[in-house]
Structure 1
């Protein structure tokens, strides 16, 4: 009882403290307003009021769009893992054939796991029979004749796809095409006269109401509401991330389902959630309708999506990189490496170039450049504006076709056997790269500037201060030249595992 009294007393003090803080803040706000507005026209109350535009309920909207939303059930073959009493991982006890626990393990073991003890008592046919798993997601009709949009990750590796209508009717579906880079898929069912919804032509605004409809946890036909909480989100899912963030509750099974605006138009396709626990925490991500429109159009026409390919590794222009280049702007995309055989390298794009425009359209950063190039068809000629050595120039490039190309670094033998060089001020030790150009990092001092910038043993520095380096002496000379120019950092082109990037490393004078 005493503890409860103390707890109540403590809560009361905490509540009073909060109220006192609120009052204090209110007084401070009034005082500040008086000081600021003393010589100006007072702001009338009606000028700052916001009209409540929220719907009384969502009944009419839901009745209109819900019949167009379906559950997507996907059957896929799984490789069973047998738990045997051989000391590897989990072990299955050696139980007699008539032990009731045998039936328990068979019945309640997780999908894809074979708890039969060494397949004892099973026929060869039973042992070789394929096992299947079932997953579920959501989708929605976009046409009267049976085309359905969902996520690529919902149907990937599926051997059989079934669409479940709102009334419970099941229809076999064919996968027309998928685009893994945007996580979209297009399905088709036979028949006609299906209820369908339209994709919005207008991007939603932050703060607008949205309604998500889908199949969370296999329950089917679930409706949740919220607002658009952010846009243009990059969550690291792919090179074309531009997600709408919503706070409507979205859970497992909602993937592929639609998010509607108040007109009943689809503004996004739910594809991911941010959750430490796996459940909804109020942060979900949807693919914007304009992206869906473009991708679905190509999938419907060709069953696949083709995109222009520039053939460069790119990275943002950070403030320290701008300092290393001696420029003030951080806009554009820095070319870390033009890929061998790629359109960019053939056109003369070089490592260290900053791409600032595509056909006169400004490039804010790497994401914008990736999306701009992807919007072009292969074999299209584009004009790139690049910044090189402080001067702007234009370069015409004929785009290739985006596939799964990877960067490859030139490799050649080098007879340079110069001794290692220690750059104590930078925390680096280097030696000539025996497998090609540049110098290899053979030591990084813990806590040094190089360590803080992420240098590792085995990294290869190929350029510094805009010049190629062959040994430690070249590197030292370039660092000295940068210092003479008054720059606070030296820009280095670094290769690791065939990938190239630029790192602005503070000079030793900066500690």
Structure 2
């Protein structure tokens, strides 16, 4: 019957309630009127620490270094007709109205980063536009480092410190090759400053990026060093740190700090389809910044070492053709006449393995090392030639402003040639092709499915030698292939002259055309 229970059932319920209460008391540490301490497992005891909240924070480092980070504001005289609508904005392309309103709140005129919005803005030729970036002070007397691309073409440069003080800055010098610029705040000797680190960071180290993204003012982000030695095609001396701290437009020229408060790099570039941060940013290492800044401070310009060679990386195929055990070092494709390399006795086909005892990883590594040395200094090179290691001393000269390579003009039309089936090429003596010079054989036709085409050889290229021997006819090329095969080589090296200069090409002997 509903709502009626028997005494026995009421007793059972009461006993069950009492039992549940006893269990509950036991679970909370109360048994027989005593309060027991909370239970602590061995595992939780092992992971407990005595750190304070500040030890798990970047706040102390940020508080220490922020006064030395500045906003760099520039004014440029720009012809609007040379600017595309929405070009160079932080979001790329056209900007939604709501985003544009947001940007205007922070001082952007017309478009992101102060750039004109194109034809819609009705700008007049010669309009002066504003741009913003970041920088950092490296001495109490007011030397400031930033990116060259931040101040390039500026008619006026101002810097603003975190306490809101504005200063006019003088451009001391710039280096477009590494994208480093040095500024100077005159009349000051008590400015806060930060130190460029002497020790490169390790992959996985924590870093803190401080800058002025989108003109918002001092902004701090954190991440880790993701990679070192990145080549992003920005210049001949690319050696970037890759970091995953959020870096956006306007952070350019700002510092990336290690946890000791020293600058480990200068933020320079981002990978961003949209113009905003996607987690991949690149910073110039502090050692590069320091080398360039020291020269700019002394003379206002950078003088680089030069040995006078065309070089290329040693690929696996090239290593096989050269008889090397590993694909490492820089292969000399051509030695320019009357240069330090020629005077020292370097030859085409040499592989530079070490500089001053340090291993050369690849061609870019050699270029960077030599370029960072002063003209007039002598370097000790370890060179591999015909399987033997040679020691050579080279006295560096100053890198010319414009390097000129002697290139032959491409043939104006197809010439009758001789077929080399193994390579998929039609060849003709260079002497018989107008504008091709007098040395080597000209490639007049390339089978797109042939071995040579797969290695990047094109019509108009000139083959200078095969297997280390000069060639002047198709028969010479065939003989070179046969000789390499007789020596049981997996690949044969051909020295080829083309639009980009002279280079070595390794063609695998097992490759056949048709």
Cα displacement string for residues 418-452 of structure 1 (whole angstroms, at most 9, x for unaligned residues): 95111112111111123221111111112221121
Cα displacement string for residues 65-124 of structure 1 (whole angstroms, at most 9, x for unaligned residues): 1111111111111123299xxxxxxxxxxxxxxxxxxxxxxx96972846699x9xxxxx
The answer to whether 1:138 aligns with 2:134 is yes
The answer to whether 1:263 aligns with 2:268 is no
The answer to whether 1:408 aligns with 2:410 is no
User: Match for residue 182 of structure 1?
Assistant: 178
The answer to whether 1:73 aligns with 2:69 is no
Cα 1:52–1:78 change in 2 (3 A) is farther
Query: Which stretch of the first structure deviates more once superposed, 447-456 or 384-393?
Result: 384-393
For 1:51 and 1:312, how far apart are their aligned partners in 2? 59
Give 1:316 deviation, angstroms.
1.2
Question: Which one of the candidate residues 102, 110, 116 is aligned to 1:111?
Answer: 116
The answer as to whether partners of 2:194 and 2:263 remain within 8 angstroms in 1 is yes
For 2:110 and 2:511, how far apart are their aligned partners in 1? 66
The answer as to whether partners of 2:422 and 2:512 remain within 8 angstroms in 1 is no
Gap regions ≥5 residues in structure 2: 1-42, 84-108, 410-414
User: Match for residue 23 of structure 1?
Assistant: none
Q: Which of 1 and 2 has greater Rg? A: 2
The alignment partner of 1:230 has SS state of strand
Give 1:239 deviation, angstroms.
2.4
Cα displacement string for residues 441-485 of structure 1 (whole angstroms, at most 9, x for unaligned residues): 111112221121111111111111101111111111111111111
For 1:203 and 1:49, how far apart are their aligned partners in 2? 31
The alignment partner of 1:81 has SS state of helix
The alignment partner of 2:192 has SS state of coil
Give 1:362 deviation, angstroms.
2.5
The answer as to whether partners of 1:76 and 1:158 remain within 8 angstroms in 2 is yes
- TM-score (structure 2 length as normaliser): 0.78
Give 1:346 deviation, angstroms.
2.9
The answer as to whether partners of 1:340 and 1:407 remain within 8 angstroms in 2 is no
User: Match for residue 157 of structure 1?
Assistant: 153
* Matched residues, number: 431
User: Match for residue 287 of structure 2?
Assistant: 290
For 2:316 and 2:454, how far apart are their aligned partners in 1? 16
Cα displacement string for residues 323-348 of structure 1 (whole angstroms, at most 9, x for unaligned residues): 11233232211001112332212322
User: Match for residue 249 of structure 1?
Assistant: 246
For 2:505 and 2:50, how far apart are their aligned partners in 1? 50
Query: Which stretch of the first structure deviates more once superposed, 472-481 or 376-385?
Result: 376-385
Cα displacement string for residues 206-233 of structure 1 (whole angstroms, at most 9, x for unaligned residues): 2221111101111110111111112222
Give 1:510 deviation, angstroms.
5.8
The answer as to whether partners of 2:132 and 2:150 remain within 8 angstroms in 1 is yes
The answer to whether 1:239 aligns with 2:241 is no
The answer as to whether partners of 1:68 and 1:141 remain within 8 angstroms in 2 is yes
Give 1:393 deviation, angstroms.
2.1
The answer as to whether partners of 1:340 and 1:408 remain within 8 angstroms in 2 is no
Query: Which stretch of the first structure deviates more once superposed, 212-221 or 293-302?
Result: 293-302
The answer to whether 1:390 aligns with 2:392 is no
User: Match for residue 214 of structure 1?
Assistant: 211
The answer to whether 1:166 aligns with 2:162 is yes
Question: Which one of the candidate residues 322, 325, 329 is aligned to 1:328?
Answer: 325
The alignment partner of 1:479 has SS state of helix
Query: Which stretch of the first structure deviates more once superposed, 194-203 or 402-411?
Result: 402-411
- TM-score (structure 1 length as normaliser): 0.78
User: Match for residue 58 of structure 1?
Assistant: 58
For 1:213 and 1:439, how far apart are their aligned partners in 2? 57
